[in-house]
Amino acid sequence: MTKNVAPRIAFRFSLSCFSLSLLAGLLSIGCSKQNHLQSVIWTSSSNQNQPALLKSSQFTSKEISLMGREETIERAPQKIGAAEIDGTFLQKITDNKGQLIFVKSLYDVNDLSKLLPEIQKLDTLKFATLEKLKKTNQTLQSAAHVFAPKVLVLTNEGTPQVVYQLDFIDSSKAGIFRMLVSPSTGVFSIQRSSSAFEEGKANIFPVGPKSSQLAEVILANLTGDGTLTKENLKLTSQISEKAHSPNLVFDYDPQDVRFDQVQSFFYVDRALNFFQTRLGISLPFSLEIQTHFGAPEKLNAMFYYHGQIRLGTGDGVSYNNVMKDPSIVIHETCHGLIDALARLPLGTGEGGSLNEGFADFFTTVYLNNPNLGEVAYLKGPYKRTVQNDLKVSDKNGGLYHDSLILSGTFWEIRQKLGDQKTLNLAVKTLPRLGPNGNFDSLSTSVQYALVTGFMETDKIAVTDILKKRGWN
Ligand SMILES: [Zn+2]
């Protein structure tokens, strides 16, 4: 805190959510989940009276008192009885003469005293409740440590709810998590509450060894235990030499078996990031990459099943360097995306071909390269290409052959509509296809997807391409 940046003009507001939403368009104030709480900012340089809440007995439970060189910072949550009110605080800054100079608070103005009996009761029972929960709840049972339970008031848009807050260190010691337990309905939320996120570094090929030089990249949000693990993604390997670095710098020679682990972790991580930033989708489950699958056997293994991606080394005849091939690793990751959006079948039937086709389509758009398998495939320049003219009448029942009809169609749409619109179209088409999607329902699913968010000229262009390719 420096004096120079302290606001010269004090302002004070206590807008309700309603008036905030009216202003939102003008001031771009977001109405967050705390929007029913009221906010105050006060500075001594204003001519305003000190906020009345400074005298309230609800803010006496000091959570921090930090004495800096020039200022002292104190913070307290708002409490009702033994319970904190979620999201609230009162922060005070005093100068070294003991004069109050700044106040900021988020607080609940409602009279919550009617909750006192319930809070009192839950507070008395908190340790007994924890012991009871431990008997039935696997997460708590296996936790490395459970902190003392607390009673918390969730303000829930004006309908307050008294719950237990249980902070614990998980069994793998990856971080501290917060469990919220309703006394009537049980556990309803578990969220990470520690900032155990670490940034790692790696030397890898950003877009594969054929299209890029070795470069240093950032591996963000690693849990920090030295392994390739983050909240939604972890890497395991079937060989004994595992990429592990206590300082999170993963720098191996490309010939080192650990290099491939880092390389494939990076590809999947970036693909997940692509799903978030370009498709607006965070996978609702975490992924596991199993590298060197089947080792010491050299397998052409590359498949996705229930959140797990298995990658072999390649047999050295048809494939090698499977884990270094961005198109293969990202293709498998895209099966996770498609699993979430549509749960199309894997490996069989028309639905399986659509699944493969969409996985190829997302991969090739992401890599901006229509060819798949350029790095790993040994028997030609690539294994498949989405740049093709195949029509529905060319269908022969081959899983990957028939997938090319779908991927070729979407690649052609992409050439007309551009990347973003075509990605949006694919993302909207998949849930409309659903688990029983097949070649017959593809065209209507695309039409359903086109209903909103596309221009008339886009719809015409897409419909023309579908017709030309023989999709009914
Ligand atoms: Zn596949």
- DSSP character string of 258-318: HHHHHHHHHHHHHHHHHHHHHH----SS-EEEEESTTTTS----EEEETTEEEE----SSS
Bridge partners for 38 per DSSP: 107
User: Quick check: helix, strand or coil at residue 82?
Assistant: coil
pLDDT higher than threshold 90 for residue 355: yes
d(CA 100, CA 42): 10
Compute the distance from residue 296 Cα to the ligand 1 centre, in Å.
Answer: 23
Mean pLDDT of 102-121: 92
- Region for 291 from its dihedrals, namely left if φ exceeds 0, alpha if ψ lies in -120 to 50, beta otherwise: beta
Compute the distance from residue 112 Cα to the ligand 1 centre, in Å.
Answer: 56
Averaged pLDDT of the chain: 86
Compute the distance from residue 246 Cα to the ligand 1 centre, in Å.
Answer: 34
Compute the distance from residue 356 Cα to the ligand 1 centre, in Å.
Answer: 5
Amino acid (one-letter) located at 156 = N
d(CA 346, CA 143): 36
Please answer whether residues 141 and 134 qualify as being in contact, where contact means their C-beta atoms are separated by less than 8 angstroms: yes
d(CA 148, CA 167): 8
Question: Does the pTM of the predicted model rise above 0.75?
Answer: no
Compute the distance from residue 458 Cα to the ligand 1 centre, in Å.
Answer: 29
Nearest to 117 by CA among 159, 83, 165: 83
Name the more confident of 176 and 154. Answer: 154
Name the more confident of 472 and 22. Answer: 472
d(CA 296, CA 321): 15
Mean pLDDT of 317-332: 96
Compute the distance from residue 399 Cα to the ligand 1 centre, in Å.
Answer: 10
Compute the distance from residue 336 Cα to the ligand 1 centre, in Å.
Answer: 10
54-68, 203-217, 277-291, 452-466: least confident range: 54-68
d(CA 354, CA 346): 9
Compute the distance from residue 330 Cα to the ligand 1 centre, in Å.
Answer: 10
Confidence of residue 292 (pLDDT cuts 50, 70, 90): very high
DSSP string, 134-198: HHH-HHHHH-SEEPPPEEEEE-GGG--EEEEEEEEE-TT-S-EEEEEEETTTEEEEEEE-S---E
Please answer whether residues 37 and 2 qualify as being in contact, where contact means their C-beta atoms are separated by less than 8 angstroms: no
Copy the structure tokens of residue 332.
Answer: 């498998």
Mean pLDDT of 31-51: 76
pLDDT higher than threshold 60 for residue 403: yes
- ∠ CA 54-57-63, rounded to 5°: 80
Please answer whether residues 71 and 103 qualify as being in contact, where contact means their C-beta atoms are separated by less than 8 angstroms: no
User: Quick check: helix, strand or coil at residue 374?
Assistant: coil
pLDDT higher than threshold 70 for residue 32: no
pLDDT higher than threshold 90 for residue 254: yes
Please answer whether residues 298 and 312 qualify as being in contact, where contact means their C-beta atoms are separated by less than 8 angstroms: yes
Compute the distance from residue 368 Cα to the ligand 1 centre, in Å.
Answer: 18
**Residues 148-166 pLDDT 10s:** 899 999 987 778 999 999 9
pLDDT higher than threshold 50 for residue 239: yes
Crossing angle for the helix pair 456-468 and 399-417, to the nearest 10 degrees: 150
pLDDT higher than threshold 70 for residue 29: no
Compute the distance from residue 41 Cα to the ligand 1 centre, in Å.
Answer: 55
